[in-house]
C-alpha cells in the first residue's frame, strides 16, 4: 500500500496525517516538537509500512527547522510546499474557508498523492554545503541590517548634524560605515562636542580606528569641516538627538562586526568545499560571492535537470507570456532573490575587466539592451557555463566559454 505523509508544523506541536493512494485517511496524530515527538512520528510511519527501502515521502510547509533536519537524516524524500500553494489546494475541498491543523495536514498529504511530480523535493546537499548556506545567508542578512542602521543614522544626522555628513562625503557618497566615521561620531555626537575637538584628538581617534596612512592631513581636513558654521538645534534638543545617534551607533557597530565576522566564516567554510576551485575560477567571482552562490545552488547535482532549470531558478532567463496573438518576453519576477542578487554582483564585477565577458556585455549594449538587461544576459550566459563546469569538474576557460576572440586583419602596407 502506497502511503503519503503531510505535516502541518507549528512552534510547539505538529499535526501529522497519512493517506493512502485513494486519499483515505490511514492515521493521524499530533506530536510535540521534541525527541519523543519525533520517535512517535517514526513509529507512526513504520506502522503504515515505512522502511529504509521504501520510505514514505513527507510534505511540509517549511524547508528548515529541527523536525525537517531530523527527517532529512532518515533518507526520505521531503517536499517543502509553498504555503500559498497549500491555500489554493485547500479551496479544492471546501469553499467555506474553514481551516484546521489536521485538515491542512490532509491537504499536504493529498498534494503528494496527486501532484508529487509537480513539486520540488528538498535537495540532498552535503553537510558542508548546508553549513556554507547558513553562514553566507546570515552574512548577507547582517549586511542588510547594517544598511538599514546606516540609513537610519544618516537620516537622523541630517536633522541636527549635517556638518558631520559633509566631513565624510567622498566621491558623491557618505560612508558612515567606515571605522573612522564611527569612531569620530562616538567622541563627538553633537556639533557642540565637535567644536571642542582638536586636530590632535582627531588624529588619535583615527589611529585607534585602524587608519595607518595620511592621518595628519585627514585630521586637519576633518577638523576644518567640523568647524564650518551650520544651522543648529536648541541645546537640549541637540543633546537629546546626540544620545539617539549614539544608540543607533551601537547598532551600526554591532552589524558592521557581524557582517565582517560572518562573512569571514562563510569564506573559510566555502574554501573547504570541493566546488571552491571551479566556482572561483570564473571572472568577477570573489570568495564571498562564491559562498553566497554555492549557498543557493547547493552541491546536489540532480537538483536541476539542466542549465535552463538553473537559469529559471536564478531569474536570469526571460519568461514568455503568450495568449492568442499577444506574445511578451519579459524578465522573470518569481525567482530566488538571493541568487539573483549575487548574480548581478558577479556580472557587474566581471564586466569591467577586458576579456570575453566585457565583450559580451558591450555586444548586448550595442544591440540596444539597457545596463541591467545586459548584465542579466551576461549572468545568464556565465551561469550556464558554471552549470557545465560543475557537472564536468572543469575550471573556467574563456576560449571554451565564449569562443575564439575575433581576429582583425592587419592592414597591408602600400
The domain made up of 3-122 has a fold known as Nucleotidyltransferase; domain 5 (3.30.420)
Rounded to an integer, what is the distance from CA 403 to the centroid of its chain?
A: 32
pLDDT value at residue 348: 95
Contact 390, 274 (CB under 8 A): no
Q: What pTM value is reported for the model?
A: 0.86
Residues contacting 362, CB < 8 A, separation 6+: none
What are the cell numbers at 241?
538627538
pLDDT value at residue 406: 66
pLDDT value at residue 172: 74
Closest CA to 345 of 321, 303, 375: 375
pLDDT, averaged per 10 consecutive residues of the chain (414 residues), comes to 91 92 92 93 93 92 92 93 89 77 92 91 94 96 96 95 92 85 95 94 93 92 92 94 96 96 97 96 95 96 93 92 86 91 95 90 93 94 96 92 68 52
Domain spans in the chain, listed from the N-terminal domain onward: 3-122, 132-268, 296-402
Backbone angles phi, psi at 128, to 5 degrees: -65, -40
Contact 116, 79 (CB under 8 A): yes
Contact 291, 135 (CB under 8 A): yes
Amino acid at each position: 500500500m502506497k502511503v503519503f505523509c503531510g505535516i502541518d508544523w507549528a512552534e510547539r506541536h505538529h499535526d501529522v496525517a497519512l493517506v493512502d493512494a485513494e486519499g483515505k485517511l490511514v492515521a493521524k496524530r499530533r506530536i510535540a516538537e521534541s525527541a519523543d515527538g519525533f520517535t512517535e512520528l517514526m513509529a507512526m510511519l513504520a506502522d503504515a509500512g515505512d522502511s529504509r527501502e521504501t520510505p514514505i515521502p513527507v510534505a511540509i510547509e517549511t524547508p528548515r527547522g529541527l523536525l525537517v533536519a531530523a527527517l532529512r537524516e532518515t533518507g526520505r524524500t521531503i517536499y517543502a510546499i509553498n504555503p500559498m500553494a497549500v491555500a489554493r489546494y485547500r479551496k479544492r475541498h471546501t469553499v467555506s474557508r474553514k481551516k484546521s491543523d489536521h485538515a491542512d495536514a490532509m491537504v499536504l498529504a493529498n498534494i503528494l498523492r496527486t501532484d508529487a511530480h509537480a513539486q520540488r523535493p528538498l535537495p540532498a546537499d552535503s553537510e558542508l554545503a548546508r553549513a556554507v548556506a547558513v553562514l553566507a545567508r546570515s552574512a548577507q542578512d547582517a549586511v542588510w541590517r547594517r544598511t538599514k542602521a546606516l540609513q537610519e543614522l544618516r537620516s537622523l544626522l541630517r536633522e541636527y548634524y549635517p556638518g558631520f555628513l559633509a566631513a565624510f562625503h567622498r566621491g558623491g557618497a557618505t560612508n558612515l560605515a567606515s571605522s573612522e566615521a564611527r569612531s569620530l561620531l562616538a567622541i563627538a555626537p553633537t556639533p557642540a562636542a565637535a567644536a571642542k575637538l582638536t586636530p590632535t584628538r582627531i588624529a588619535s581617534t583615527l589611529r585607534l580606528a585602524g587608519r595607518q596612512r595620511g592621518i595628519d592631513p585627514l585630521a586637519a581636513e576633518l577638523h576644518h569641516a567640523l568647524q564650518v558654521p551650520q544651522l543648529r538645534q536648541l541645546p537640549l534638543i541637540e543633546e537629546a538627538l546626540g544620545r539617539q545617534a549614539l544608540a543607533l551607533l551601537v547598532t551600526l557597530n554591532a552589524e558592521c562586526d557581524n557582517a565582517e565576522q560572518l562573512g569571514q566564516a562563510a569564506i573559510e567554510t566555502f574554501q573547504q568545499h570541493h566546488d571552491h576551485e571551479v566556482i572561483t575560477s570564473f571572472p568577477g567571482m570573489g570568495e564571498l560571492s562564491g559562498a553566497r552562490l554555492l549557498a543557493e545552488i547547493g552541491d546536489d547535482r540532480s537538483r536541476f535537470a539542466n542549465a535552463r532549470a538553473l537559469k529559471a531558478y536564478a531569474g536570469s532567463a526571460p519568461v514568455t507570456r503568450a495568449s492568442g496573438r499577444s506574445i511578451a518576453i519579459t524578465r522573470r519576477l518569481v525567482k530566488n532573490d538571493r541568487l539573483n542578487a549575487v548574480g548581478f554582483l558577479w556580472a557587474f564585477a566581471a564586466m569591467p575587466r577586458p576579456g570575453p565577458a566585457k565583450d559580451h556585455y558591450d555586444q548586448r549594449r550595442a544591440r540596444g539592451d539597457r545596463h541591467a538587461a545586459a548584465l542579466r544576459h551576461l549572468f545568464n550566459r556565465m551561469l550556464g557555463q558554471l552549470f557545465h563546469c560543475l557537472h564536468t569538474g572543469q575550471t573556467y576557460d574563456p576560449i571554451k566559454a565564449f569562443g575564439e576572440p575575433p581576429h582583425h586583419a592587419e592592414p597591408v602596407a602600400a
